[in-house]
Amino acid sequence: MPLPHWTPDGLLPPGRHAADLSDIYERLVWDAPHRNTRENLFGALSGYLGMVAKLMPSGRAWVGGGLVLRTEEAPQDIDVVLLPDDWGSLKRLSGPARAAFYGLLTLRGVIVEQPVMYLDQVQPVGGLLDGFLCRPGDEEIWAKAWSAVRGPHGPIDGLTKGYAEVTW
């Protein structure tokens, strides 16, 4: 099902919109400015979801962030929150698979050894994507965050945007 057309404000209409990768490409890459930047972000998203699907047998991904805005500024990254259908499958991941899965999530406040350094944030796919994991019962918190339109000083009151939902 195609994603809806942009609003006059350059937003996806409010709500969660079912989409597959071709729908996302059509609306959020092809039908938006800064196509080269968006092509790179879309490639990161496509590869990211492929890696997630290998480790998480079924679930959903909510795609938001700068990619769902049609603005004069080029998007910097994509925001993705993962909603697994079966939490037990994540708990049963083996050591290497668990490490691979955690490598797909954005980490904040990380301390690395040899050499010791503190990193404010570590992002998957070379920083092109922020990946988060929604715990059961936190869906409304994430939906509210993904619907918020942010300005330079935080959320803009009274303005909401939509986001895409990819299911596998």
Residue 7 within any structural domain of the chain: no
| 4 in a structural domain | no
Q: Read off the pLDDT band of 117 (50, 70, 90).
A: confident
83: which 2 tokens?
């909603």
pLDDT of 82-106, one tens digit each?
999 999 999 999 999 999 999 999 9
* pLDDT for the residue numbered 71: 92
CATH number of the domain where residue 93 is located? 3.30.460
Distances (CA, A) of 86 to 38, 102, 117: 31, 16, 35
Q: Can you tell me whether residue 30 is helix, strand or coil? A: helix
Confirm if 68 and 77 have CB atoms less than 8 A apart. Answer: no
| CA gap 128, 38 in Å, rounded | 10
Q: How far apart are CA 70 and CA 132, in angstroms?
A: 23
Q: Which domain holds residue 114?
A: 15-167
Whole-model pTM above 0.85?
Answer: yes
- Within a domain: 146: yes
Q: How many domains does the chain have?
A: 1
At position 44, the amino acid (one-letter code) is A
